[in-house]
């Protein structure tokens, strides 16, 4: 074959399509025929130092040549090489024979430096070189040659303006896949290597690529082509197609110039210089250049050395290092977002490795895969699929069935028209699970360097000895440390483990870690190098992939992941995780799962706030999730058995808290948060109930000012003046709907008693149920028509979490009492355990008080509410004048009036509460009442005098109250919150454990 | 021919080969590609007939099927490889339409049709007897009544079986011999009818229907399956619905509703979003209800809404006119679909600009 070496006229310019298996075979044929003494490859010259490793047994493609700036590992570019890449074939061929290999593209030192200041995050730019654009030769990342695109995002060079020369030619010929066109038109047309190319070029040159005449002409040509498959090496000179292609490209470039690839000119200048050197050293015929076909005309061009040198003058430079990293087929595939440029690496790999009959072999592979998945696929199926693929190809005017035809055939014959198994085939075969390997000797990955740099930056030394550190997240360094540790945890590099703080600190601004650098962690770092070149980029990539690739994880897993992303401050990963989270939540049909996930999500939301992270997306997801719970809860609660109801009650409580927090977040949290929190947190029950009544009052239409003592005052008269100025702007949306759901549940018969009771209680606590309504509901369920067991369950649900309610509302107590005495004897033993469980939860004091009340005959008396105002809910019979006396002075002071104590509570309509949702004015009244309630609670528990004092302290005139609370809240941001929002939540919801 | 053609024109619905006779003739004239035995057109021309195009002479072929080119190409190739073709799809995806036009283009005759029902008997697929003849002369070819399939076999034509999965399983299986051996034995006469070249069979079946008889795997293996998808883009579907509603409205003497296009778009959007389980902007995932929500159903919702608007409203199609129809189409299973619909209303419809009236109307009918 060496006899053909008459082409000594010049170097072998092998224009290829990057990652083209056909090109790869053709390149090998040329190399074997001509045996050049030196091989030049499009790629960064820094790679010359490590190219020897390509011959190592342990090096298994796909791999990528990685160049990165020494001081800034994030600035990096990849040149991936697959088994079927022409460049890889050429490198292997040369290394095996000891032929020198040189990379001739512009040095990465320049390309990386030039990318500076272009805004794009370099690693993205570097890795994502769309293969399409490089087409002929400008293939960026493909190690081949890429070029510019590979490493260097260029300004003002958007995809639209860039020309993909091969795609243009292919489209002109009526092909949708440039690689197919390449195979059909260029490599497998013995005798007419220029035919397809030439015709196509003309069409392209006319500027109407892909239009009618060009398409039909070329397709017709293809039709007539020898259908003897891609493996006919019948033609004599393997170099001939390359020469023809060079001409085609020259024609194309004559029309399109640089096709928008401006930086190519510089790169080509460099290539020419290197080529000239090599020619001097090895002689004209002794040099082979493997580069993108696009560059071939430029290399053949006669340009003076001076001109080329001039072009390269003054390029910016940065110190770079080069190494090999393992790559995967998935990253070669366009779909994965890494965009090295080819959609079907598995198919190309198959084309490259199949000795003959590629279609038949491919379909057999498909059949085997389907059989493994328990699809019944017989040989008869495969035969029919091969026939159909062939017919389709003929009908579409193609000499041989390609991936499109085989896929269509597989769908129609093997998969019975279904796309589901096709997905599997695409994933496993068309893309494939191939993972490359790199020998031990390859230089260290940049991630290691970046980690070391960051460790220095935050002054945390990796040490084998175990130690604990406390981080104060208000300090910048500590925040950075926390971020680093969280990111490493995401990458499975377990340097630090979060531990419970030793100092029993409160609040969310403190974190404690146990640090221990195990030497084995270095290995983990090397493994994590696959994910990226910096800790942040790697963690982002990993988090993204964890969210999207894992299909088996639960909603809660994703929520946790979102939390981690926030902790690790990975803003780029968060949207993806959020997206997945939202999707999962949308498809989640188990309300329980949703209710479980929601609280941690809401928590994350608040935590994100503390850290100043933007959690807007999270809030949207949380809202959506709450919305879904609202919709799904009623059907989910119907027809549950006891255990189911018990489980659902937990979810109900969790969801309730979360919704409250969520709704409150949406409110303008000025002050009322803290105060209401106190009220609810400490008062747990009894008292909050007072707001219920008052809120209802407000809704009834009294339109006095918020401090109108008239209606609020009758309940907690002492506190009536203590308005903190909280704008209780209830979210009529979410919160209102949630309350609507609770109301529905409380009223609906098919719902288990436990849940109904719970809902009634939650509504009552929220001030959404008037006393009368509560009483009605209770008497309904405690009436003789209801089975005692159900009634006991209701009571359990209603009373869980505190019995103060019964202490304060004699009417309810009377109802329970009356019901209990009426339970038939045989049923009594059944309900006894339930009741015992309920009452055992009460505090001892409450139990005792209840006992006393019952003994005093509370059961009979209070509901009548006879003589004076002493039948007021929450007050014992009779007026203790002495104690009232003590508080009177304070009350006067507060009200600034001779007598502020006014009328009676006035529950006119059962609907009043629901109306409270809709009117901000009324609801602000509810806040008033809430505080009033607070005061009253204090009064009830600590004595009137004390309570009054308390209220004075807290309830200054409006304006100041608001300011005071706001400053308290702001203080909470920076200083340990005494009474800021965090403190409030600790008291109320036990958030503290989680955050600590 | 012209006479019968005119008579056909008077028919409520002419056969495909008559309605488009001129296009078929023009294609046959322009078609210089190789034709399989007894095909009227080459596979390429058949595909052009279905997908539409312009012939070199300037004759325009109207598209019969609007959808992915791939589907028709696979279908025609299947017929060319003498494999039987099974068209699958939810109701309203033009399965029967495609099968009729394929038969018309390939064999010039779309009438060799077996309609599958639960009561379809073996005779409908194989052959029956003329009992008077049978009694008078004993078994003979003259007493035999061939089925459409048998005629197609002996003449090398394309037979069609509609709703294959509605046919009882044992009757379905009589097709196995026909499709694999390409022969139909007549034991009574000791003869057989062998299929001549050009014979093939197109079956249609509904893959989301309930109470059907699934194909045995032996039979299934004899078919290449092509699934006809629902319209790909919203615009295409709006087009289809609007055109069809227009036609239906004329035959029902409903006044045209010029303002109705927005409402149609809304109905189509709702159907598409729920069907695909994701909102149009691709930002929100949704659960899909159990109904098929096909284009055909969208058409009937809009037609129903038009009737409401014309007879009880002000003649303009409004949200309230279609709300009840949509609810009926979406909520097929009261337990699960109700929740899905509520979620959709709250999560998607409520937030959408300009959909307030629709939201309110839906809330009203759902309450």
Cβ neighbours of B86 in A, within 8 Å = 417
Structure tokens at A945: 């005098």
Report chain B residues whose CB lies below 8 A from the CB of A630: 346
Instruction: Give CA angle at B8 (B7, B13), nearest 5°.
Output: 140
Contact yes or no for A968/A978 (Cβ under 8 A): yes
Alpha carbon of A755: minimum distance to chain B alpha carbons (Å): 20
CB A388 to CB B81 under 8 A?
yes
Answer whether B80 touches A (CB < 8 Å).
yes
Measured CA to CA, the distance from residue A446 to residue A772 in angstroms comes to 71
Same domain (yes/no): B75, B223: yes
- In eight-state DSSP terms, residue A60 is B
Q: What is the pTM assigned to this prediction?
A: 0.59
A-interface mutation test, from B34, B48, B204, B339, most A Cβ less than 10 A away: B339
Listed range (A396-405, A679-688, A760-769, B312-321) with the worst mean pLDDT? A679-688
Asked if B346 lies within 8 A of A411 by C-beta distance, the reply is no
Least confident of A488-492, A723-727, B191-195: A723-727
A388, A587, A737 ranked by CB distance to B224: nearest = A388
According to the model, what pLDDT value does residue A298 have? 84
Please state whether beta strands A510-515 and A467-472 pair in parallel, antiparallel, or not at all (unpaired).
antiparallel
Do B125 and B222 belong to one domain?
yes
| B221 and B295 housed in the same domain | no
Note whether A141 and A273 are same-domain residues: yes
Across the interface, do A388 and B227 touch by the CB < 8 Å criterion? Answer: no
Q: What is the largest CA-CA distance in chain A?
A: 125
**Residue A378's closest chain B neighbor by CA?**
B221
Same domain, A543 and A653: yes
The whole-number pLDDT of residue A591 equals 77
- Whether A979 maps to a domain, the answer reads no
Helices (H) and strands (E) in chain B, counts: 18, 11
Which chain B residue's Cα is nearest to A575?
A: B283
Report if residue A220 sits inside a domain.
yes
Number of domains in chain A: 7
Of the pLDDT bands very low, low, confident and very high (cuts 50, 70, 90), residue A709 is very low
Residue A626 forms part of a structural domain: yes
Q: How far is A387 from chain B (nearest CA, A)?
A: 7
User: Residue A426's pLDDT is what?
Assistant: 85
A63 falls in which pLDDT band (50, 70, 90)? confident
Residues A143, A70 share a domain: yes
Residues of the domain holding A509:
446-531
Choose the final residue of a domain: B175, B201, B227: B227
Q: What ranges in chain B are assigned the alpha helix state H?
A: 2-10, 16-19, 21-30, 43-51, 69-80, 95-107, 122-125, 131-137, 148-155, 169-172, 174-180, 217-220, 234-251, 261-276, 295-312, 319-330, 334-344, 356-366
Model confidence pLDDT, tens digit, residues B172-197: 999 998 998 999 999 989 999 999 99
Name the most confidently modeled range: A83-92, A247-256, A449-458, A879-888: A83-92
**Is the pLDDT score of A445 beyond 60?**
yes
Give the model's confidence band at A639: pLDDT under 50 very low, under 70 low, under 90 confident, else very high.
confident
Q: How would DSSP label each residue in A637-679?
A: HTT--HHHHHHHHHHHHHHHHHHHHHHHHHS--SSHHHHHHHH
Distance from CA of A426 to the nearest CA of B (A): 18
Residue A923 has pLDDT above 60, yes or no: no
| A179 has pLDDT over 70 | no
- Answer yes or no: is A667 within a domain: no
Regarding whether A365 and A455 lie in a shared domain, the answer is no
> Which of these, A540, A101, A61, A126, lies nearest to A324 by C-alpha position?
A61
> Whole-angstrom Cα distance, residue A37 to residue A964?
84
Q: Is residue B60 part of a domain?
A: no
Q: Return the minimum-mean-pLDDT range out of A455-459, A627-631, A854-858, A985-989.
A: A985-989
Query: Judging by beta carbons within 10 Å of its beta carbon (0-12, 13-18, 19+), is residue B308 exposed, middle or buried?
Result: middle
Strands, E, within A329-487: which ranges?
467-472
Q: Which residues of B touch A582 (CB under 8 A)?
A: 284-285
Contacts of A369 (CB under 8 A, 6+ apart): A424, A425, A428, A429
- Does residue B213 share a domain with residue B75? yes
Do B43 and A631 make contact, defined as CB atoms within 8 angstroms? no
Select from A223, A392, A626 the residue whose CB has the most chain B CBs within 10 Å, as the one to mutate to test that interface: A392
Domain membership of residue A675 (yes or no) is: no
Asked whether residue B280 falls in the same domain as residue B355, the answer is yes
Instruction: List residues in chain A touching B: CB distance below 8 A.
Output: 376, 378, 380-381, 384, 387-388, 391-392, 395-396, 408-409, 411-413, 415-419, 582-583, 586-587, 589, 624, 627-628, 630-632, 635, 737
Most confident of A530-544, A599-613, B126-140: B126-140
| Residues B289 and B140 occupy one common structural domain | no
Cα dihedral across residues A768, A770, A771, A772: positive or negative: negative
For residue B70, the chain A residue with the least C-alpha distance is: A408
Domain boundary among B195, B227, B259: B227
Q: Are residues B93 and B199 in the same domain?
A: yes
Q: Is residue A983 part of a domain?
A: no
Q: Measured between alpha carbons, how far is residue A181 from residues A359, A684, A817, A824, A952 in Å? A: 17, 75, 89, 89, 86
- Using an 8 Å CB-CB cutoff, list chain B residues near A380: 221
The answer to whether residues A375 and A463 belong to one domain is no
Tell me, letter by letter, the H, E, C secondary structure of A887-933: HHHHHHHHHCCCCCCCCCCCCCCCCHHHHHHHCHHHHHHHHHHHHHH
**CB-closest option in B225, B335, B342 to A417:** B225
Q: Looking at the structure, do residues B170 and B305 belong to the same domain, yes or no? A: no
User: Does one domain contain both A343 and A377?
Assistant: no
pLDDT band at A690 (very low <50, low <70, confident <90, very high): very low
| Amino acid B149: pLDDT | 94
CB contact under 8 A, A416 and B47: no
Domain check: are B101 and B250 in the same one?
A: no
Q: Is residue B27 part of a domain?
A: no
Q: Is the pLDDT of residue A718 over 90?
A: no
Which residue in chain A is spatially nearest to B345 when comparing CA positions?
A631
The CA distance from A403 to the nearest CA of chain B, in Å, is 13
Domain at B103, CATH number: 3.40.50.300
Partner-chain contact A587 B285, CB within 8 Å: yes
The answer to whether B307 contacts chain A (CB < 8 Å) is no
Q: Confirm or reject contact between B285 and chain A (CB < 8 A).
A: yes
Q: How far is A700 from chain B (nearest CA, A)?
A: 26
Q: What does the pLDDT read at residue A7?
A: 47
Is the pLDDT score of A769 beyond 70?
yes
For the segment A122-151, what is each residue's pLDDT rounded down to a tens digit?
333 333 333 333 333 333 333 333 333 333
A121/A167 same-domain check = no
User: CB–CB of B346 and A630 under 8 A?
Assistant: yes
Is B94 inside any structural domain?
Answer: yes
Q: Is B232 on the interface with A (CB under 8 A)?
A: no
Asked if B176 reaches chain A (Cβ–Cβ under 8 Å), the answer is: no
What is the predicted pLDDT for the residue at B76?
93
Does B76 reach chain A within 8 Å, measured CB to CB? yes
Nearest to A624 among B277, B287, B347 (CB): B347
**Number of domains chain B contains:** 2
Closest to A412 (Cβ–Cβ): which among B80, B224, B277?
B224
Reduced to 3 states (helix: H, G, I; strand: E, B; else coil), residue A822 is helix
Q: pLDDT-derived band of residue B100, with 50, 70 and 90 as boundaries?
A: very high
Query: Is B343–A589 a contact, with Cβ atoms under 8 angstroms apart?
Result: no
Residue A105 has pLDDT above 70, yes or no: yes
- Answer whether residue A397 is part of any domain: yes
Give me A360's structure tokens. 């038949």
Are A18 and A293 spatial neighbours (Cβ–Cβ below 8 Å)? no
Sheet with A320-326, strands from edge to edge, namely A72-81, A63-69, A320-326
Residue A666 counted as domain residue: no
Structure tokens at B352: 């959408």
Q: Write down the pLDDT at residue B85.
A: 94
Whether A413 and B77 lie within 8 Å, measured CB to CB: no
Report yes or no on B274 lying in a domain. Answer: yes
Interchain proximity B81–A378, CB inside 8 Å: no
Residue of A nearest to B42 (CA): A395
Q: How many residues does chain A have?
A: 996
User: At B211, is the pLDDT very low, low, confident or very high (cuts 50, 70, 90)?
Assistant: low
The pLDDT of residue B204 is: 93
pLDDT in tens, A150-177: 333 333 333 333 456 667 777 777 676 6
Nearest chain B residue (CA) to A213: B56
Candidate from A384, A408, A627 with C-beta closest to B346: A627
The most confident of A503-512, A618-627, A664-673, B353-362, by mean pLDDT: B353-362
In this structure, are A427 and A305 located in the same domain?
no
Given A322, A352, A382, the domain boundary residue is: A352
Stretch A582-590: mean pLDDT, rounded? 75
Greatest mean pLDDT among A74-83, A401-410, A937-946: A401-410
Instruction: Please report whether residue B36 resides in a domain.
Output: no
Average pLDDT over residues A552-566: 77
Do A271 and A135 belong to one domain?
A: yes
Q: pLDDT-derived band of residue B164, with 50, 70 and 90 as boundaries? A: very high
Closest CA to A340 of A65, A56, A40: A65
Give the residue on A whose Cα is nearest the Cα of B71: A408
Q: Residue B21 domain-assigned?
A: no
The mean-pLDDT minimum among A206-215, A291-300, A556-565 falls in: A206-215
Q: Same structural domain for residues B133 and B275?
A: no
* Averaged pLDDT score across all residues of chain A: 67
Which residues of B are less than 8 Å from A409 in CB distance? 74
CA angle in degrees (0–180, nearest 5) for B16-B69-A166: 150
> For A379, which residue in chain B has the nearest alpha carbon?
B221
> In angstroms, rounded to a whole number, what is the distance separating the alpha carbons of residues A272 and A291?
12
Rounded Cα distance between A853 and A760, Å, is 24
d(CA A72, CA A392) in angstroms, rounded, equals 52
What does the pLDDT average to over B118-144?
Answer: 91
Q: Is there a single domain that holds both residue A33 and residue A138? A: yes
Is the CB of residue B339 less than 8 Å away from at least one CB of chain A?
yes
Antiparallel, parallel or unpaired: β B200-206 and B158-162: parallel
CB-nearest partner of A388 from B78, B287, B335? B78
Q: Given an 8 Å threshold on Cβ–Cβ distance, is A412 in contact with B81?
A: no
Q: Given pLDDT bands bounded at 50, 70 and 90, which one contains residue A236?
A: low
- pLDDT on residue A183: 65
Average pLDDT rounded to a whole number, residues A599-619: 66
> Based on the domain organization, do A303 and A326 belong to the same domain?
yes
Q: Which of A329, A352, A375 is the last residue of a domain?
A: A352
Q: What is the DSSP letter of A879?
A: -
Distance from CA of A442 to the nearest CA of B (A): 43
* Domain-located, residue B136: yes
Contact call for A586 and B47, based on CB within 8 A = no
- What is the per-residue pLDDT for B129? 92
Report the range of poorest mean pLDDT among A464-478, A510-524, A802-816, A909-923: A909-923
Q: Are B125 and B175 in contact (CB under 8 A)?
A: yes
Cα dihedral value A868, A871, A877, A880, nearest 10: -60
Residue ranges with strand state E in A705-782: none
CA distance B350 to chain A (A): 11
User: Does A408 sit within 8 Å of B285, measured CB to CB?
Assistant: no
Final residue before a domain boundary, out of B186, B201, B227: B227
pLDDT score of A165 = 67
B346 contact residues in A (CB cutoff 8 A): 627, 630-631, 737
Residue B303 structural domain: 234-366
One domain for residues A245 and A319: no
User: How confident is the model over A932-955, as pLDDT tens digits?
Assistant: 434 344 333 343 333 333 333 333
Residue B212 CB partners (closer than 8 Å, separation 6+)? B165, B166, B205, B206
Q: Is the pLDDT of residue B162 over 80?
A: yes
ipTM for the assembly: 0.76
Residue B81 counted as domain residue: yes
Average pLDDT estimate for A235-261:
75
**Cα–Cα distance, A687 to A179 (Å, whole number):** 76
Question: Is the Cβ pair B81, A384 closer than 8 Å?
Answer: yes
* Shortest CA distance from B350: residue in chain A: A733
* Interchain CB contacts (distance < 8 Å): A and B: 84
* 3-state secondary structure (DSSP) of residue B89: strand
| Region of poorest pLDDT, from A492-506, A880-894, B23-37 | A492-506
């Amino acid at each position: 074959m060496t006899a053909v070496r008459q082409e000594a006229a010049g170097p072998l310019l092998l224009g290829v399509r990057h990652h083209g298996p056909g090109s790869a075979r053709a390149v090998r044929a040329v190399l074997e025929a001509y045996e050049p003494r030196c091989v030049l490859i499009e790629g960064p010259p820094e790679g010359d130092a490590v190219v020897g490793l390509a011959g190592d047994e342990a090096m298994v493609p796909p791999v990528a040549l990685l160049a990165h700036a020494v001081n800034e590992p994030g600035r990096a570019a990849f040149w991936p090489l697959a088994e079927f890449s022409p460049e890889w074939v050429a490198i292997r061929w040369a290394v095996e024979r000891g032929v020198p290999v040189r990379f001739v593209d512009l040095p990465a030192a320049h390309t990386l430096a030039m990318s500076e200041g272009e805004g794009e995050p370099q690693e993205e730019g570097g890795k994502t070189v769309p293969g399409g654009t490089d087409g002929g030769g400008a293939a960026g990342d493909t190690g081949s040659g890429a070029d510019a695109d590979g490493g260097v995002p260029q300004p003002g060079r958007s995809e639209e303006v860039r020309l993909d020369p091969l795609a243009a030619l292919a489209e002109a010929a009526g092909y949708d896949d440039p690689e197919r066109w390449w195979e059909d038109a260029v490599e497998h047309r013995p005798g007419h290597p220029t035919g397809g190319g030439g015709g196509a070029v003309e069409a392209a040159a006319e500027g109407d690529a892909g239009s009618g005449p060009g398409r039909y002409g070329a397709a017709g040509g293809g039709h007539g082509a020898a259908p003897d498959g891609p493996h006919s090496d019948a033609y004599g000179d393997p170099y001939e197609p390359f020469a023809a292609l060079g001409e085609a490209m020259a024609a194309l470039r004559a029309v399109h110039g640089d096709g928008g690839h401006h930086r190519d000119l510089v790169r080509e200048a460099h290539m020419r210089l290197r080529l000239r050197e090599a020619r001097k050293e090895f002689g004209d015929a002794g040099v082979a250049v493997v580069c993108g076909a696009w560059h071939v005309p430029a290399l053949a061009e006669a340009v003076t050395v001076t001109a080329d040198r001039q072009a390269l003058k003054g390029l910016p430079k940065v110190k770079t290092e080069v190494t090999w990293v393992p790559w995967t087929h998935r990253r070669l595939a366009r779909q994965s977002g890494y965009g090295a440029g080819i959609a079907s690496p598995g198919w190309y790999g198959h084309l490259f490795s199949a000795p003959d009959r590629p279609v038949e072999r491919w379909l057999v592979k498909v059949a085997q895969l389907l059989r493994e998945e328990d699809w019944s696929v017989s040989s008869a199926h495969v035969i029919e699929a091969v026939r159909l693929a062939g017919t389709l190809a003929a009908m579409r005017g193609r000499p041989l069935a390609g991936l499109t035809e085989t896929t269509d055939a597989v769908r129609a014959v093997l998969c019975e028209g279904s796309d589901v198994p096709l997905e599997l085939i695409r994933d496993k075969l068309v893309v494939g699970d191939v993972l490359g390997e790199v020998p031990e000797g390859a230089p260290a990955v940049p991630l290691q360097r970046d980690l070391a740099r960051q460790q220095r930056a935050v002054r945390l030394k990796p040490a084998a000895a175990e130690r604990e550190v406390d981080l104060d997240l208000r300090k910048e360094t500590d925040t950075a440390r926390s971020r680093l540790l969280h990111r490493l945890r995401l990458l499975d590099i377990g340097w630090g483990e979060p531990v419970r703080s030793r100092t029993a600190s409160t609040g969310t601004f403190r974190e404690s870690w146990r640090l221990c650098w195990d030497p084995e962690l270095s290995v983990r770092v090397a493994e994590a190098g696959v994910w990226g070149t910096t800790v942040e980029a790697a963690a982002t990539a990993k988090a993204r992939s964890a969210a999207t690739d894992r299909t088996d994880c639960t909603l809660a897993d994703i929520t946790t992941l979102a939390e981690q992303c926030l902790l690790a401050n990975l803003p780029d990963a968060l949207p993806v995780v959020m997206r997945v989270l939202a999707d999962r939540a949308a498809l989640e049909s188990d309300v329980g799962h949703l209710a479980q996930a929601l609280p941690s999500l809401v928590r994350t939301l608040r935590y994100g706030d503390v850290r100043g992270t933007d959690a807007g997306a999270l809030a949207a997801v949380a809202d959506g999730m709450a919305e879904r719970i609202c919709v799904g809860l009623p059907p989910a609660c119907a027809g549950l058995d006891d255990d189911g109801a018990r489980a659902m009650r937990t979810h109900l409580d969790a969801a309730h808290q979360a919704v409250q927090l969520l709704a409150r977040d949406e409110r303008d949290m000025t002050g009322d948060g803290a105060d209401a929190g106190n009220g609810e947190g400490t008062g747990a029950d009894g008292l909050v109930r007072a707001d219920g009544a008052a809120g209802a009052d407000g809704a009834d239409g009294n339109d006095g000012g918020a401090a109108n003592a008239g209606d609020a005052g009758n309940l907690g008269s002492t506190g009536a003046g203590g308005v903190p100025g909280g704008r209780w702007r209830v979210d009529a949306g979410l919160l209102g709907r949630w309350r609507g759901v609770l109301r529905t549940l409380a009223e609906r018969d098919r719902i288990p008693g436990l849940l109904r009771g719970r809902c009634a209680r939650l509504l009552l606590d929220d001030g959404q149920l008037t006393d009368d309504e509560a009483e009605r509901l209770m008497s309904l369920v405690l009436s003789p028509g209801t089975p005692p067991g159900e009634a006991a369950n209701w009571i359990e649900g209603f009373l869980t979490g505190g019995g103060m309610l019964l202490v304060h509302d004699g009417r309810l107590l009377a109802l329970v009492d009356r019901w209990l005495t009426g339970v038939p004897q045989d049923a009594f033993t059944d309900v006894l355990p339930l009741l015992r469980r309920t009452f055992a939860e009460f505090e001892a004091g409450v139990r005792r008080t209840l006992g006393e009340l019952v003994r005093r005959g509370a059961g009979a008396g209070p509901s009548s509410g006879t003589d004076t105002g002493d039948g007021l809910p929450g007050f014992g019979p009779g007026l203790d004048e002495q104690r009232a006396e003590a508080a009177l002075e304070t009350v006067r002071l507060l009200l600034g009036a001779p007598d502020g104590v006014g009328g009676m509570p006035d529950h006119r309509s059962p609907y009043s509460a629901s109306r409270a949702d809709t009117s901000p004015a009324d609801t602000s009244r509810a806040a008033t009442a809430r505080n009033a309630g607070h005061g009253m609670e204090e009064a009830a528990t600590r004595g009137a005098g004390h309570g009054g004092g308390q209220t004075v302290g807290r309830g200054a005139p409006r304006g100041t109250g608001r300011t005071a609370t706001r400053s308290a809240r702001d203080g909470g941001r920076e200083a340990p919150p005494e009474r800021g929002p965090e403190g409030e939540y600790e008291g109320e919801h036990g958030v503290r454990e989680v955050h600590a | 021919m012209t006479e019968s053609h005119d008579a056909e024109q008077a028919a409520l619905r002419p056969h495909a080969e008559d309605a488009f006779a001129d296009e078929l003739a023009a294609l046959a004239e322009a078609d210089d590609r190789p034709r399989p035995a007894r095909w009227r057109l080459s596979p390429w021309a058949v595909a052009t007939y279905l997908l539409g195009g312009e012939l070199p002479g300037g004759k325009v072929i109207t598209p019969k099927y609007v959808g992915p080119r791939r589907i028709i190409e696979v279908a025609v190739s299947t017929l060319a490889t003498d494999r039987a073709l099974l068209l699958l799809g939810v109701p309203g995806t033009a399965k029967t339409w495609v099968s009729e036009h394929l038969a018309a283009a390939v064999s010039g005759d779309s009438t060799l049709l077996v309609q599958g029902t639960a009561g379809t008997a073996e005779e409908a697929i194989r052959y029956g007897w003329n009992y008077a003849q049978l009694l008078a002369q004993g078994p003979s070819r003259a007493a035999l009544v061939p089925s459409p399939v048998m005629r197609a076999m002996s003449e090398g034509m394309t037979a069609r079986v509609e709703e294959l999965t509605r046919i009882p399983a044992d009757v379905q299986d009589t097709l196995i011999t026909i499709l694999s051996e390409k022969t139909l034995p007549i034991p009574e006469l000791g003869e057989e009818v062998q299929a001549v070249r050009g014979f093939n069979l197109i079956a249609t079946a509904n893959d989301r229907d309930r109470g059907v008889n699934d194909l045995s795997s032996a039979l299934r293996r004899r078919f290449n399956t092509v699934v006809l998808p629902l319209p790909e883009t919203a615009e295409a579907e709006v087009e289809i619905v609007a055109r069809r509603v227009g036609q239906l409205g004329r035959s029902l003497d409903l006044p045209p509703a010029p303002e109705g296009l927005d409402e149609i778009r809304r109905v189509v959007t709702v159907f598409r979003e729920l069907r695909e389980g994701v909102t149009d902007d691709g930002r929100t995932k949704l659960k899909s209800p159990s109904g098929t929500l096909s284009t055909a159903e969208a058409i009937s919702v809009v037609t129903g809404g038009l009737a409401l608007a014309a007879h009880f409203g002000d003649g303009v199609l409004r949200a309230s006119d279609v709300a009840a129809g949509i609810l009926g189409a979406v909520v097929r299973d009261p337990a699960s679909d109700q929740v899905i619909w509520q979620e959709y209303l709250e999560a998607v419809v409520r937030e959408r600009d300009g959909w307030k009236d629709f939201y309110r109307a839906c809330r009203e009918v759902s309450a």
